[in-house]
Amino acid sequence: MVQAKDWFQVQPGGALRGSTRVPGDKSISHRAVMFGALAQGETHVRDWLPAGDTEASLSAVQQLGVQIDRLSPTELVVHGGKLIAPTAPLDLVNAGTGIRLLAGIMAGQPFPSVLDGSEQLRRRPMNRVIAPLRLMGADIEGDDGRAPLTVRPAHLRGIEYHMPMASAQVKSAVLLAGLFADGPTTVTQPGPARDHTERMLTAMGADLAVTPETATLTPGKALHAINFDVPGDISSAAFLIVAALLMPGSDVTLHNVSLNPTRTGILDALREMGADITVEEMGLQAGDPVGTIRVCHSALRGVRVGGDVVVRMIDEFPVFMVAALAAEGETFVKDAGELRVKETDRLKVMTGELSALGAAITETEDGFYLFGPQQLAGAKVFGHDDHRISMSLVVAGLGASGQTTVLDAECAADSFPGFADTLQRLGADVTIHELAHP
C-alpha cells in the first residue's frame, strides 16, 4: 500500500528561465563521509548534500565513533582514522549506496555490526554485495539475501571479481573491503559504472590501478584526509533539464554540475533527441570535471537507447521517460533491467503512474517503448516513496493539461532538498503541501 504524506501541487507551466545551482552530488556525498571516516586526519567537505539518503550515511558513520563537526548543513569536518563498534544496528533508511558501501567497510573491521534500513531498503537485493564479500572471506549474512545484514570480524583476502552487472555500489563495496584484505583486489566491470570511488580513493592516497574495465586496489597504503568540494548532482540537474526542454520559451543555466563521463549519459541521449544543451567545462572538483549546463526548450525526436549508455544514465530513466513522451516518434529503451531493483521497480511504477496521466507506454522486461508526442492530462499520482519517481511526475505535470497532484512528495528530499523551491524560482508553478491529505 502506498502511504501518502506530503504532496506536490503542479499547475501546467510556462517557460522556465534563469540560472541556479543544484544540490551536491549524492554519490560523492555518501563517499565523502565514509572515506573521510577511514582517513587519518580531518576531511573538510563543502557543498555536501544534506538529504535523506546522505544524512543516513552520516549518522551511521557517527555511530561508528567518528566525530563530525557540522559547520553548516552543507559544510562539515570529518575527524577520521578510527572506527569503534556501534552499540546498535546502523540504520541506512532508504539509502542503497549507504548500506552497500558500508557493508564493504564493515566486512574489514575487527568488530561486529548490523546494517539495516527502511522497509523499502529491506526489499532490495543484497546478494550482489554479500556474494563477492564472502569470496573475500567476509563473515556477512543477510535475511534471505536482503537487509538486515549481520557482519562479523573475519580475515579478508584479495580476489579477482567479475561483476555480473555494471554496479558502482558493488564495485565500491568490494574495493572498500579490499582496503582491509591481505592482497590486491581486482574488480572487472561489464560496463562503465560510475567511478567516484576510484577517483576519490586515489586522491586520498590509495594504491589503485584503473583501466576502463578494471580497478585493482592494493592494500597497505593508509588513506589521508583531503578536502572535498562536492560538485552539483547531474541526476538532480536532469529534472530541471527535462522540464526546460519541455516548456516552450525555457532557457535555464545550471552552474557547477559534475560532468563525470560515467554520469553524463542523459546529456548524450537528450542531445541525440535534438535537445539544445550546451556544456562548458570549468575545472575539477572531488576528482570530477565540473561545469555549466545551459538548456533551452527544444522539439525532441524519439531515440533508441541501449548498451553502455544505460549505466551512464541509470538514475535518469524516470525523467527520461517523461522527455520521451514529448518526443516525436518512437523511443525504445533496452538493457535497463536494473531499473527494476532501484528504490522501486522504476519501469513498472513509472509506466503505471504516467498511464494515470493518460500516457501509453509499453513496458518490456528490460525497458520500454512508446510513441510520441503524447499530451498528458493532470491527475492524482503517487511517488511510491521513491524520490526520482516523485520528481519525474512533477516534471510530467508541468507539461500536462490541468492540475497534477503528486502524493508522497517528502521523498524528493532524499536527494534534492528544495526541489519545489528551485522549480518555482525558475518560474514553474509547483507548491508543496505538508502533513495532511489533499
Catalytic residues: 315
* DSSP tag of 93: T
**CA 263 to the chain's CA centroid:** 10
Q: Would you call 230 helix, strand, or coil by DSSP?
A: coil
349 versus 379: smaller Cβ distance to ligand S3P? 349
Residues 407 to 426 in contact with ligand S3P, rule: CB under 6 A:
none
Q: Which parts of 16-45 interact with ligand S3P (CB under 6 A)?
A: 27
With contacts defined by CB under 6 A, name the span among 87-95, 161-169, 226-234, 399-407 that binds ligand S3P. Answer: 161-169
CB atoms within 10 A of CB 85: 13
- Per rule CB under 6 A, is residue 97 in the interface with ligand S3P? yes
Q: What's the CA gap between 40 and 47, in Å, rounded? A: 22
In the complex, least distance from residue 167 CB atom to ligand S3P, rounded to whole angstroms: 3
Cell digits for 367? 525497458
Neighbours of 335 (CB within 10 A): 16
User: Which listed range, 129-137, 164-172, 177-185, 347-355, lies at the site for ligand S3P (CB under 6 A)?
Assistant: 164-172
Judged by beta carbon, residue 44 or residue 194, the one nearer ligand S3P is 194
Tell me how far, at minimum, the Cβ of 73 lies from ligand S3P, in Å.
20
- 315 lines the binding site for ligand S3P (CB under 6 A): yes
> With binding defined as CB under 6 A, does residue 392 bind ligand S3P?
no
Instruction: Look at the chain and count its residues.
Output: 438
Question: Which one-letter amino acid corresponds to residue 248?
Answer: P
Read off φ and ψ for residue 421, nearest 5 degrees. Answer: -60, -40
- Nearest partner of 11 among 404, 432, 351, 334, judged by Cα: 404
Amino acid at 208: L
Report yes or no: 227 and 43 within 8 Å, Cβ to Cβ: yes
Q: Is 234 in the site for ligand S3P (CB under 6 A)?
A: no
Question: Residue 255 or 342: which CB sits closer to ligand S3P?
Answer: 342
C-alpha distance from residue 82 to each of 30, 72, 177, 221 (Å)? 18, 24, 16, 15
Hey, what's the cell of 351? 509506466
94 scored as a contact of ligand S3P (CB under 6 A)? no
Q: Closest distance between ligand S3P and the C-beta of residue 251, in Å?
A: 29
Please say which residue, 272 or 338, places its beta carbon nearer to ligand S3P.
Answer: 338
Distances (CA, A) of 57 to 53, 77, 223, 376, 388: 7, 15, 19, 38, 19
154 in Cβ contact with 130 (< 8 Å): no
Segment 326 to 365, residues that bind ligand S3P, using CB under 6 A? 338
**Pick from 113, 169, 258, 405: which binds ligand S3P (CB under 6 A)?**
169
Question: Could you tell me the smallest distance in angstroms from the CB atom of residue 11 to ligand S3P?
Answer: 30
Residue 297 or residue 346: which is nearer to ligand S3P going by CB? 346
Report, in Å, the least distance between residue 339 CB and ligand S3P: 9
Count each helix (H run) and each strand (E run) in the chain, helices first: 13, 24
Judge contact between 329 and 375, C-beta under 8 A: no
Cβ neighbours of 408 (radius 10 Å): 23
Distance CA 224, CA 215 (A): 20
Task: Please identify, among the stretches 149-157, 166-174, 276-284, 347-355, the one whose residues bind ligand S3P according to the rule CB under 6 A.
Answer: 166-174
- Residue among 45, 136, 314, 423 that touches ligand S3P (CB under 6 A): 314
Least distance between ligand S3P and beta carbon 319 (Å): 14
**Cβ atoms 392, 322 nearer than 8 A:** yes
Which of 72-80, 143-151, 167-175, 400-408 is the region at the interface with ligand S3P (rule: CB under 6 A)? Answer: 167-175
Binding ligand S3P (rule: CB under 6 A), the pick from 22, 130, 163, 168 is: 168
The smaller minimum CB distance to ligand S3P, of residues 286 and 376, is found at: 286
Q: Does 194 bind ligand S3P (CB under 6 A)?
A: yes
**Per rule CB under 6 A, is residue 200 in the interface with ligand S3P?**
no
CB 268, min distance to ligand S3P, A: 17
Report residue 223 as a C-alpha cell: 588513506
CB of 53 to ligand S3P, least distance (A): 9
Q: State how far the Cα of 238 lies from the Cα of 240, in Å rounded to an integer.
A: 5
d(C-alpha 429, C-alpha 427), whole Å: 7
Single out the segment in contact with ligand S3P by CB under 6 A; choices: 77-85, 163-171, 176-184, 199-207: 163-171
Asked if 167 is part of the footprint of ligand S3P (rule: CB under 6 A), the reply reads: yes
Interacting residue ranges for ligand S3P, rule: CB under 6 A: 27, 97, 167-169, 172, 194, 314-315, 338
